[in-house]
Homo-oligomer: A and B are copies of this chain.
């Protein structure tokens, strides 16, 4: 098994004819993902990277049985694209698009929730299970099949860390990038139980950052629902209060969202917290070794 995506995942790329849509369709296919369809209104009947393009998600689902979508459409139209996916029966949507207003995300999230559909993102690198499928934009080169699950609020920092795991001779079960926006469809709290249940995952790496209370909430979840070892890292220890550090959600506001608070909560919940990102692979290896000797 794996988390959320597997070899049976059939992906429709929403906004496939745009530059990003096309580039990443190619990369997803190279990864081995079954990209079965793309959509762009008015471009139905064409092809991109050998993938048939439809005018609507409903047509794409009808013709190809797509069950997951990867959304690249511009921010002002992202809400609409997701509603279309939900109404067409798509159960998992990775939203790569950045700068979606959070008021839009609120209605997207709650609509999806009421209809049994799940968002990863927005403004996220997506999800990948090496050897099975990738939905999103994480570079293919960083992966190698293995038993480390990675959950991260970051993009490139995740690549750095996942790549480090590979270079250390280890590999990943599933890696999911949640995105750094204030409102995200899938949080640590949502994702941790998936990895806890996943028989392919032995150790969980959690990459957080300043802003909000997602890591504090994650610490609660680790305490109550996770038995597997967790290695964590929190970016932004040197960030000053009141400044948005690149991500819309990465801000220490009114004393909330500091790295200290997050690190303390994670430590108290039993996670091993790395000071430097490059320490993570070694910490993971130690945990794996400890599991072997159990």
Residues in A lying within 8 Å of B, measured CB to CB: 110, 113-114
Contacts and interface: CB of A to CB of B under 8 A. Distances in A.
A116 to B, nearest CB: 11
Contacts of A114: 110, 113-114
Q: Is the interface of A mostly helix, strand, loop or mixed?
A: helix
Nearest to A114: B114
A113 B114 CA distance: 8
Contacts of A113: 114
A234 B204 CA distance: 62
A34 B197 CA distance: 42
A114 to B, nearest CB: 4
Nearest to A110: B114
A110 B110 CA distance: 12
Nearest to A113: B114
A110 B107 CA distance: 14
Contacts of A110: 114
3 contacts: A110-B114, A113-B114, A114-B114
A106 to B, nearest CB: 14
